Amino acid sequence: MPKGPQGQKRKADVIGNAVLVMKIATGEVQEIAESKKATAGRAGGKKGGAVRAAKMSPTQKSEAASLAAQARWRKKQT
């Protein structure tokens, strides 16, 4: 049986997959993105960024921002 990006089981056949999509659309089954784990992880990630920024000095923030900008520009050139 194929596995999704987070290890969840997925239907291998077309009809089974169509039935799963229909159940998600009607609300019988919850999507992976709406699961409790995903919600908790997203909330933790939001808190972590603010805490990290609060602990950094202005110089460190500037260095991190310039590294991020360089990474974005590098990504667009390729």
- In this structure, are residues 11 and 20 in contact, taking their beta carbons and an 8 Å threshold? yes
Structure tokens at 54: 């609060």
State the pTM of this model. Answer: 0.42
What confidence tier does 65 reach under pLDDT thresholds 50, 70, 90? very high
pLDDT tens-digit map of 2-40: 666 666 666 678 888 888 888 888 888 776 555 677 778
Strands (E), the chain: none
The span from the CA of 29 to the CA of 50, in Å, is 34
Q: How many residues does the chain have?
A: 78
- DSSP-assigned letter for residue 34: G
